[in-house]
Amino acid sequence: MADLKIREAAPGIFVAHLPLPMKPTIVNVTLLHSDGEWALVDTGMNTREGRQALEAAMREVGCAPGQLRTLICTHHHADHFGMSRTIKEFTGAEVYLHARDYDSAQHYAPGPRSDTSIAFYLRHGMPLHRYPNMQSAGDFWGALYAPVQPDHFMDDGDVIRVGRLSLEVVTTPGHTAGHCVLYLRAQRIMIVGDHLLPRITPHVGLLPDGPPNPLGDFLASQRKIQPFHVDLVLPAHGGVYRDHRHRSQQIIQHHDYRLRELLDTLRRKPRPAYDLAAEAFGFDVESPLVVQFPATFETLAHLEYLRAEGQVACEEEGGRVLYRAI
């Protein structure tokens, strides 16, 4: 493959860049090798191009399919868990995922949106009457998402061994309920999935069946990883970098700014989450739903954080929830 992109970030630890059919257009997966054992962290989406790129990367580093015995997924999103069934079928690898994220993955199954979801969207001001043919999450992802039943549910403090390498599991909920990062203490390396990206902030949204305060979880997870001694950070999107504490603090400051901005807006008058999101993210009812939905969910996460902090209250008016500053 002429455009194969793979590099050895540290001895026996290879970062491969797999193509994605949408933005972001690349996801980084990590191949680890020690004492004849191989493991893979994250999968890419279930596309022919993604599988070809992964197989080419494995050939490049000398990992035959049957040698890949361990597949660890940092979380359940399509670019991290979407090719898990395909990879398990052609390698036989045992799959690791957090149990909460496997539960969340079930919401990506094909079928209509649930009544609970519809009620949630309407209560928060989304104009669903304008979108009579709105796809469910499962229908949107379709064949791009082919998850498999994990062999192991990993949790905080677990250690997954690959030859002489020890991968410590650190739960970092926020981006998803069961997001995990992997810490190689001896090498001072952290594989961070989407938790600690170098150039962008991951989506943190309030979902109909999700945790009640995902932004609170996310900010606590940012602080949780700061005490670790890390020389090299391997993110799922963007380049390998150093100084995870500095980046973590930048992300916390970004959300602090967003929270202050949202609170200032609410001091003018009570409003539903959808209207606040439209103003903050600059969309309208004609914008793509792939913009409107995440923006509304992220705004809701900030609103519910402020509510948990006692700075915002909500009230019902005409079947909608209005948030107001206290």
Averages of pLDDT over runs of 10 residues in the chain (326 residues) are: 77 97 95 97 97 96 97 98 98 98 88 85 92 80 94 98 98 98 98 97 95 98 98 98 98 98 95 96 92 96 98 93 96
User: In this structure, is residue 160 part of a structural domain?
Assistant: yes
User: In this structure, is residue 145 part of a structural domain?
Assistant: yes
CATH number assigned to the domain comprising residue 179: 3.60.15.10
For residue 3, the model assigns a pLDDT of 58
For residue 136, the model assigns a pLDDT of 79
User: In this structure, is residue 299 part of a structural domain?
Assistant: no
For residue range 144-194, what is the model confidence (pLDDT) as tens digits?
Answer: 999 999 999 999 999 999 999 999 999 999 999 999 999 999 999 999 999
The CA distance from 251 to 266, in Å, is 23
For residue 111, the model assigns a pLDDT of 75
Q: Which residues contact 277 (CB under 8 A, 6 or more apart)?
A: 283, 292, 295, 296, 298, 299, 300
User: In this structure, is residue 244 part of a structural domain?
Assistant: yes
Q: What are phi and psi of 314, to 5 degrees?
A: -135, 155
Domain span at residue 27 reads: 6-111+138-263
pTM: 0.95
User: In this structure, is residue 53 part of a structural domain?
Assistant: yes
For residue 112, the model assigns a pLDDT of 76
User: In this structure, is residue 195 part of a structural domain?
Assistant: yes
For residue 131, the model assigns a pLDDT of 83
| Sequential DSSP letters for 19-88 | E-SSSS-EEEEEEEEETTEEEEE----S-HHHHHHHHHHHHHHT--GGGEEEEE-SS-SHHHHTTHHHHH
The CA distance from 270 to 322, in Å, is 6
User: In this structure, is residue 75 part of a structural domain?
Assistant: yes
User: Burial letters for 65-80: b for 16+ Cβ neighbours within 10 Å, e otherwise?
Assistant: eeebebbbbbbbbbbb
For residue 140, the model assigns a pLDDT of 83
Domain count, the chain: 1
User: In this structure, is residue 318 part of a structural domain?
Assistant: no
